[in-house]
Amino acid sequence: MRVALVGYGSIAGEHARALATLAAPLGEEAPHVAAVVGRLTEPTAAFAGEIGAERATTDLDEVLADPGIEAVVVCSPTELHADQTERALRAGKHVLCEIPLATSLAATDRLIALAAAADRRLMVCHTQRYHRPQALAHRMVERAELRPHAVIARYGFLRRENVNWQGRRRSWTDNLIWHHGAHAVDTALWLLGAKEADVAVRLAPPSGPLGIPMDVGLALRTPVGQIATVALSYNTHLPVNDYLLIGEETSVLVAEDRLRGPDGVLVEATAEAERAAIREQDAEFFASVREGREPVVSARAVRPAMAVLQAAQDALDAPHPPS
C-alpha cells in the first residue's frame, strides 16, 4: 500500500518508523511511504531520503492526483490539518491525521460527513488511547472493575517559546486548546466511558510570544453526573501529564508511564512505550483500510472531545473572554 506522508517534523519521523515495522508481518499489503510532502524543498527532500521515500515534493495536489497513493498521513502544522485532510478525502484517499483533526467542531463534522460519503477511512492520532497505563485503566472501566465517578486530568509543560518536544524550533505556533487539550479531554472522556459532556471554561488571557492563553481550566459534567476536571498549561517548569480516575470500587492514577492503584503499580510502560503506542495506532488504521471498517479512533469517536474544545474556543472568541 503506497502512502503519502505530509510533513517532515518529529512526529512524521515517528510515523515513518512505525510504518517500517509493519512491513514484515504484512508483506505485500504493508504500507510503504512512497511520497513526502513538505513546505520547503530542501528539508522535504532530505527527510524523504532518510526514510527511503520515492518522491519528495511541496505540491500536495500533485501527490493526491496519483492513483497509486491509497492513504495519506497528515503530520503538518495544526492549522493545516483540516484543509489537507479534506483535500485528501476528496481525492479518494484514506487519511490518518495527527491530533487535532481540526480547530473547530464545524470542520470536524464536515470531515466526518465527507469520509462517510466517500467511504474512506478517517482516523485521528489520539495516541494516548494506546498507551499501556491508560489502556489498562480503560479496560477496568469496561469490565466494571472500576465504576468511575470522576477524573482529574493535568497536561502541562514549559513552552513559552516556539520549540517542540524534541527541541526543534518551529515556524508555527502550537495550540494549547486544540492540540494538547484534545489529548487530555479525549482521554478523560474515554476513561469515563462518556460520549458527551457539558463544560465550563476558564481561560488565562492570551499572552507572551505565542499570543495564546497559556493556562486553561475545563470542568466537564457527563449526562450521568460524572465530573472531569482538566487543567492545561504551557507555563509549568515541572512537566506533568496524568489522570486520576476516581471510582466506586477503587481509584487509579496514570502518571510517569505507570498505572498505580492503592496497592501499588498495576502496569509500567517501557522506555519505548510511546513508539509502541504509535505502532499499534498506525497498525489499527491500516487494518481498518484493509478490512473496510471504521477505525477504532475514528473522527466520529473523538467528536465528543472536539465539542468540548469548541466550547473553550467560543469562550476565547467571546467579546469578553472569561478569566
Task: Match 532530505 to its residue by C-alpha cell.
Answer: 46
Per-residue pLDDT tens for 24-51?
655 567 899 999 999 999 999 999 999 9
Give phi and psi for 167, each to the nearest 5.
Answer: 85, 10
Residue type, 75: C
Cα 81 from Cα 75, distance rounded (Å): 8
> Does residue 80 contact residue 173 with C-beta atoms inside 8 Å?
no
Task: Give Cβ neighbours of residue 5 (< 8 Å, ≥ 6 apart).
Answer: 12, 15, 16, 33, 35, 36, 37, 51, 53, 72, 73, 75
Per-residue pLDDT tens for 18-29?
999 886 655 567
Per-residue pLDDT tens for 203-229?
999 988 888 899 999 999 999 999 999
- pLDDT score of 30: 82
Q: Helix 181-192 vs helix 303-317: angle between axes, to the nearest 10 degrees?
A: 130
> Does residue 47 contact residue 10 with C-beta atoms inside 8 Å?
no
The 3-class secondary structure across 255-273, one letter per residue, is ECCEEEECCEEEEECCCCH
Which cell numbers hold the place of 156?
Answer: 502541562
- Give the E-state strand segments of the chain in sequence order: 2-6, 32-37, 55-57, 69-74, 94-98, 122-125, 148-158, 198-203, 206-207, 212-213, 215-221, 227-233, 235-247, 251-255, 258-261, 264-268
Domains of the chain and any CATH numbers: 2-127+278-298 (3.40.50.720), 128-271+304-317 (3.30.360.10)
CA distances, 91 to each of 10, 27, 64, 219 (Å): 26, 26, 6, 39
264-287 average pLDDT score: 91
The continuous run of DSSP H or E covering 278 comes out as helix 273-291
Q: Is the peptide bond before 25 cis (omega within 30 degrees of 0)?
A: no
Cα 51 from Cα 46, distance rounded (Å): 9
> Does residue 101 contact residue 111 with C-beta atoms inside 8 Å?
yes
pLDDT band at 273 (very low <50, low <70, confident <90, very high): confident
Per-residue pLDDT tens for 144-199?
999 999 999 999 999 866 555 555 555 556 789 999 999 999 999 999 999 999 99
